[in-house]
């Protein structure tokens, strides 16, 4: 697979023996990380200056697919600081969005960032009907994503503390994301309502919501800069497996999130690679954040699992537990993500399903990370996926399972039980041998991240 060039860095002021040609440049490719610093062995852009840190800062790009806009991020790791444009100092270990033409200052060295593919000119906030300033928030004219749901844009807090810095060093404002959707007042977003009540390091954090006079609903949340787990695994034209330890650490973080959610009476119902975000791509074991609670369900109480039943047929067939009830339509396709009342009256299971639907999805995700293949994907036809998941037969003789421990295989099998009584819940997972065997290391890594 050929490298996809997305941007480059150009040396404007200063010296670097690691760069060749004129002008002196280094390319930024999809799925690549550019390290800037003094260490010749580790850095791509070497600056020979004693005041520059071994790894001073890093730059990476995120491109979800060929239809999305590439995003570029800069993170400072230095002792003496990294500045951008008008000598605005970056907060250490915090990801900032780069824009075409931004100047990066590493002591006396000046580097200009250039984007290869220019985004089409964006409409102003005013022409889109959006407010620029809302209480202590400011929305920038930078788009992160858009779709039928609305727009996702960059936002800043306007109440950051300037007093901790000298007058010569103005802090670059931290980046957040704001989702803006059209919504009637009587249909305030269920996702935001749920997320506002949650507080967990592995769950996307919503800070503030606002409803304006034009029926725009603003959801201000953390900006997660590392892309999603699908992109993280798709290093080539198809998904690739990752090491068993890295898979285990991601599973452990997901278990922490699911255990917390289920204890609060919340079922996610759409757990998949696309909805698991990577906080930052440069670490060996990345921190993950669970997002997209658009079809999540909250129960008033967690006490009685018999009454906490769900009946709406939702989710993504590849990750969906068989008891959720996807069935064939007259065209041989599974029921859509949200079925109509008429469909539900004839096609849903009368018993419904509970929060263990999330555990099945976790089993599918673990299977993909460990092997690079989906357990019931078959020929890719969604109806065949539904049929195969109902059978629930796993094949651990496949070559992709070679070298994977029996404990990991047992863990996946215990999550992909068709019989929900046999399927592990989030609490039981922590007592499984695959988790228990590595618990000390898992907790040590987890505490380092949080």
Catalytic positions, written as ranges: 270
The C-alpha torsion from 327 through 333 and 336 to 340, rounded to 10°, is -60
In terms of residues, how long is the chain?
450
In this structure, the number of other CB atoms found within 10 A of the CB of residue 190 comes to 14
Q: Tell me, what DSSP letter sits at residue 296?
A: -
Q: Locate tokens 């997002």: which residue?
A: 291
Contacts (Cβ under 8 Å, ≥6 apart) of 244: 370, 403, 404, 405, 408
288-290 vs 45-46, strand pairing mode = unpaired
The DSSP line for 221-275 is EEPP-S-BHHHHH-SSSS-----HHHHHHHHHHHHHHHHHHHHTTEE----SGGG
Taking the C-alpha atoms of residue 28 and residue 56, their distance in angstroms, rounded to an integer, is: 17
Q: 125 is written with which tokens? A: 């906030």
Pull the structure tokens for residue 395. 């094949």
């Amino acid at each position: 697979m050929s490298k996809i060039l997305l941007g480059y860095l150009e040396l404007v002021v200063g010296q670097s023996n690691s760069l060749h040609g004129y002008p002196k440049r280094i390319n930024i490719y999809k799925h690549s990380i550019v390290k800037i610093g003094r260490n010749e062995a580790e850095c791509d852009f070497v600056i020979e200056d004693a005041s520059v840190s071994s790894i001073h800062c890093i730059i990476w790009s995120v491109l979800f697919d060929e239809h999305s806009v590439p995003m570029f991020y800069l993170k400072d790791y230095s002792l003496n600081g990294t500045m951008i444009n008008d000598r605005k100092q970056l907060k250490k270990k915090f990801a900032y969005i780069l824009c075409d033409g931004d100047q990066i200052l590493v002591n006396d060295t000046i580097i200009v960032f250039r984007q290869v593919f220019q985004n089409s000119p964006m409409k102003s906030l005013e022409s889109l009907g959006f407010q620029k300033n809302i209480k202590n928030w400011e929305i920038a004219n930078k788009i992160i994503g858009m779709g039928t749901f609305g727009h996702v844009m960059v936002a800043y807090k306007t109440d950051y503390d300037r007093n901790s810095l000298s007058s010569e060093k103005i802090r670059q404002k931290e980046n957040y994301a704001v989702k803006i959707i059209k919504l009637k007042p009587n249909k305030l977003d269920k996702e935001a309502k749920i997320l506002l009540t949650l507080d967990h390091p592995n769950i996307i954090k919503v800070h503030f919501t606002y409803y304006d006079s034009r029926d725009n609903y603003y959801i201000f949340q953390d900006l997660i800069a590392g892309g999603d787990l699908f992109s993280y695994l798709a290093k080539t034209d198809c998904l690739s497996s990752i090491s068993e330890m890295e898979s285990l650490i991601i599973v452990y973080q997901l278990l922490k999130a699911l255990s917390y959610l289920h204890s609060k009476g919340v079922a996610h119902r759409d757990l998949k690679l696309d909805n698991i975000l990577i906080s930052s791509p440069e670490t060996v074991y990345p921190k993950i954040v669970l997002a997209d609670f658009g079809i999540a369900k909250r129960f008033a109480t967690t006490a009685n699992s018999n009454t906490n039943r769900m009946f709406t047929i939702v989710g993504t067939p590849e990750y969906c537990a068989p008891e959720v009830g996807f069935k064939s339509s007259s065209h041989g396709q599974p029921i859509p993500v949200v079925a109509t009342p008429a469909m539900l009256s004839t096609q849903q299971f009368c018993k419904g399903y509970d929060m263990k639907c999330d555990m099945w999805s976790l089993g599918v995700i673990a299977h993909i990370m460990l092997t690079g293949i989906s357990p019931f994907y078959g020929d890719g036809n969604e109806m065949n996926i539904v049929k195969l998941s109902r059978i629930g037969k796993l094949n651990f003789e496949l070559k992709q399972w070679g070298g994977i421990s029996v404990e990991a295989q047992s863990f996946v099998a215990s999550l992909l039980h068709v019989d929900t009584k046999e399927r592990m819940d989030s609490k039981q997972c922590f007592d499984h041998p695959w988790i228990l065997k590595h618990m000390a290391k898992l907790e040590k890594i987890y505490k380092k991240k949080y």
